Amino acid sequence: MASKGGDWQAPARPRWAGRRARWRRRRSPAAPSALTRRPMTGALDPLSGLAYLSSYPAAIRDQVSTLLAQDPAALGPLLLRRYPQAHAVRTDKALYQYAMDLKSQHLRNADAVNKVVFDNKIHVVRHALGLHSTVARVQGRKLATRHEIRIAALFKQAPEEFLRMIVVHELAHLREREHDKAFYQLCQHMEPHYHQYELDVRLYLTHMESSGERLWDA
């Protein structure tokens, strides 16, 4: 049928056609997923990869994969031998003081940090260990900037080295916004073993994913 403007238009679809299409979709079996489903026990499927170690060399990933294939909980004893105790920073007030002590040592002239808290809404599965947010607000005729740091509540029970690495990372954003060479140089200036601690944090996350077990729980 031609429209008033002369352009061709498709004929109207019968009402029953939509109902039949919906009926067919309900009756049709679901297509199999192309993704490998992980066991309900939380064991890491070797074919699914090591998400937390994806940026590390193949030699490290292969070594971890081989270890987990033999025992999904094999990383636990290794981490406990290296880090036998958890830190004592358990409250937001203590965490704020901990962060301010680090800041006064290394970033004395950087912007003030208004808030540092543990946050149970941060999802480490999405690779966020902590968050540094900057909020600009107009106060009178001035633009005031507030800096807030949030640490995943998972690390309330963790070695002090893990907590320090994460806090150092978030404090470094006071000076360097991007994750570039200058940023990581600043992290290493504040914590010389930064890269080793970051690797061990990612091994811990891999351990939890493969075994479903938390370490250092009170």
Q: Is residue 38 part of a domain?
A: no
pTM, 2 dp:
0.73
- Cβ contacts of residue 171 below 8 Å, gap of 6+? 99, 102, 103, 106, 107, 110, 113, 132, 149, 190
- Backbone dihedral angles phi then psi of residue 6, each to the nearest 5 degrees: 95, -10
Q: Is residue 74 part of a domain?
A: yes
Q: Is residue 19 part of a domain?
A: no
Q: Is residue 216 part of a domain?
A: no
Contact in structure between 132 and 179 (CB atoms under 8 Å): no
pLDDT of residue 145: 75
Give the mean model confidence (pLDDT) for residues 169-190: 95
pLDDT of residue 131: 72
pLDDT of residue 140: 65
User: Which of 17-21, 99-103, 151-155 shows the highest mean pLDDT?
Assistant: 99-103
Provide the mean pLDDT of the chain. Answer: 78
CA 46 from chain center: how many Å? 21
Q: Is residue 7 part of a domain?
A: no
Asked whether the CA dihedral 24, 29, 30, 35 is positive or negative, the reply is negative
For the purposes of burial, counting CB atoms within 10 Å of the CB of 75, is it exposed (0-12), middle (13-18) or buried (19 or more)? buried
Given a cut of 80, is residue 132 above it in pLDDT?
no
pLDDT of residue 4: 39
Given a cut of 60, is residue 11 above it in pLDDT?
no
Give the mean model confidence (pLDDT) for residues 54-64: 93
- Residue, of 26 and 175, whose pLDDT is higher: 175
- Residue, of 42 and 146, whose pLDDT is higher: 146
For the purposes of burial, counting CB atoms within 10 Å of the CB of 15, is it exposed (0-12), middle (13-18) or buried (19 or more)? exposed
CA 146 from chain center: how many Å? 23
Given a cut of 60, is residue 46 above it in pLDDT?
no
Confidence of residue 195 (pLDDT cuts 50, 70, 90): very high
pLDDT of residue 129: 75
> Out of 71-80, 82-91, 134-143, which region has the weakest mean confidence (pLDDT)?
134-143
Confidence of residue 124 (pLDDT cuts 50, 70, 90): low
Q: Is residue 24 part of a domain?
A: no
Give the chain's domain count. 1
Residue 190, domain extent: 48-211
Rounded Cα–Cα distance for residues 61 and 55 (Å):
9
User: Which of 39-48, 122-131, 153-162 shows the highest mean pLDDT?
Assistant: 153-162
Given a cut of 60, is residue 43 above it in pLDDT?
no
Q: Is residue 141 part of a domain?
A: yes
Q: Is residue 42 part of a domain?
A: no
